[in-house]
Amino acid sequence: MTATRIIAIRHGETAWNVDTRLQGHLDVALNAHGQWQAQRAGQALADEDIAAIYSSDLSRAHSTAQAIADHNKSDSSRQVRPHTGLRERGFGIFEGQTYAQISQDWPEESRRWRQRDPHFAPQGGETLTQLRERIHHTVNILAEQHIGEQIVLVAHGGVMDALYRLATGQDIESPRTWDLGNAAINRLLWTRDGLTLVGWSDTRHLDEAALDEASA
């Protein structure tokens, strides 16, 4: 079987994650804890045989990917390759707003968003259907270039959600029952027939926080 192994990682934490503020395509940097998470992910993957590291071009993802590249011992993975196809879902007018603000200012739009209406897009943003198609297309292009190898994709929560649904056959509208933790390690297998889930939400590299980070 011709396949590409994929390690998919959501970026480390940002201040806007903590504030439940939608980031979308806005470029928000990692906070101190997010930088620590990125370093831990890099340490956890240091010995992995990685052919290439691809990242969303947004800094929170790119910084996480760079930490992975800096720790990895594979010569071919030193350079992070940015790709706009790995960006978070575009949230248009929702971007920069907290969940509470969205609910208050756009109650009907908020309802459709929270109920995962596949055809709803905030003004200037993307629908879930458009996001899924974008991620599917991007992964196919990238994975096709690395058959028989392993690659890393560093992106965003919405991208991780789309990957999980593609790999498990979950409908876009289905309520989420899986984790999308910052800097968690997720593993998938790609073939020309599609994605298969190998492992999801491995956070063992982050569990030692209490031992070596009194306050992250």
| Residues recognised as catalytic | 11, 88
Nearest to residue 152, comparing CAs of 62, 216, 215? 62
Helices and strands in the chain: count of H runs, count of E runs: 8, 6
**Maximal CA-CA distance, the chain:** 51
Are 13 and 31 in contact by the 8 Å Cβ rule? The answer is yes
Element (H, E) at 7: strand 4-10
Output the CA angle 34-87-170, nearest 5 degrees.
95
Supply the Cα-derived Rg of the chain in whole angstroms.
17
